Amino acid sequence: MKLSICTDVFGKIPFTEMLDKVVAYGLDAIEMTAGGWGGCNFIPSAEELINDDAKREAFLAEITKRGLAISALNCSGNPLIDTPMGRMHSKTMRDTMVLAGKMGVDTVVTMSGLPAGAPGDKTPNWFVSTISWPEYEGFNYMAEGVKYQWKVAGEWWKETCRIAKEAGVKKIAIEEFPGALVHNVRTFNQLCEAVGEDSDVLGLNLDPSHLMIQGAEPIEAAWALGGRVQRTAQLELCRSRLRQRPAVVERVLLSLPYERLQRLCLPRDGRPDHERRGRP
C-alpha cells in the first residue's frame, strides 16, 4: 500500500519546500487541488499548465526527481448550480480532467455537485426526506425537484465523463459528501444510471465519516460498491465498527416515496405524518 497526502494541508508554502516535507514524512505520493473549493496553492491555474508545455514539464520534474508520484488531482466543488461560482467550478473541474491526462495522472477526486430544486433557482437544495407529500393541483414539489436535479446532473456528468475519458483519465473518484447529490451508495448508482455507457470511469472516494453521520455502515457500503471504490480516506477508523450492529448500507437520508421507505424497514412505518395522523 502506498500513502498519499492532499497538499492543501501545507498551506501557502513554496512548492519545492512542500515536496521536501512530503519526502521527509516518508510518504509516496501527493494529491493536489487544481480548482473548485480547493486551496490550489500549488496549481493556481490548471488552464495555464495545460497550455504551457515547458512549465508543466518543469513542474513534474520537481516531483519525479524526489521519487514522488501524483496519486490524483483534486477538484471538489459544485458544478451543477447555475451561479458564477457553479460555472467556475464546472470549468475548473473539466480543466482538471484535461490537465490530469496531460500529466499522466489517471485519477481525479471530486464531488458530484448539487443543483437547485427548480429551473431559475440559485440555491442548492438537498432533498433527503420522503418525497411523498400532499400534492397541490396535481403538483408534488419535492418529487419534481428531485426529478429536475437528476436531469441536470445526468446532462453535466455525461459530458464530463466523455471529456475525462478522451483526456486519458481512468477514474473519477467522487467523494460521497453530505449535502451533495451523490452522498451514499444508492445515489452513486443513480448517477451511473443517469450517465450511461461512460459511467465506467466513475467510482467513489470513500470517506467513512460521511457515511457514519448518515447512520450507514462504511464497510457494508464498500462491499456493496465492489470495484467502484477508487480511493479511501481514513478507512482504518471504521474497522472497529465492523459487525457491531446490524449493518446497513444507508439509513434515513433517502429521497424516496414512502412505499419504498416501508420496504427498507426504516423507523416507524415510513409514512408522512399527515397520512399517519389521518390529516387531509
In the prediction, which pLDDT does 128 show? 83
Lateral strand order in the sheet of 202-206: 4-6, 29-33, 69-74, 107-110, 171-175, 202-206, 229-232
Query: Cβ neighbours of residue 33 under 8 Å, at least 6 residues apart?
Result: 6, 7, 8, 39, 40, 41, 43, 73, 74, 75, 76
Domains identified in the chain and CATH numbers: 75-276 (3.20.20)
Query: Cβ neighbours of residue 167 under 8 Å, at least 6 residues apart?
Result: 97, 98, 100, 101, 102
Cell 389521518, residue?
278
Task: Determine what percent of the chain is predicted with pLDDT higher than 70.
Answer: 81
pTM, entire model: 0.81
Query: Which pLDDT tens digit goes with each residue over 49-88?
Result: 999 999 999 999 999 999 999 999 999 999 999 999 999 9
| Among 118-127, 217-226, 231-240, 263-272, the least confident range | 263-272
Cell 512542500, residue?
18
Query: Which pLDDT tens digit goes with each residue over 194-205?
Result: 999 999 999 998
Long-range CB contacts (within 8 A, 24+) of 261-265:
261/130
How far CA 173 is from CA of 53, 104, 106, 212, in Å, comes to: 26, 16, 10, 19
Better pLDDT: 203 or 257: 203
Query: Which pLDDT tens digit goes with each residue over 123-164?
Result: 999 988 777 778 888 888 888 999 999 999 999 999 999 999
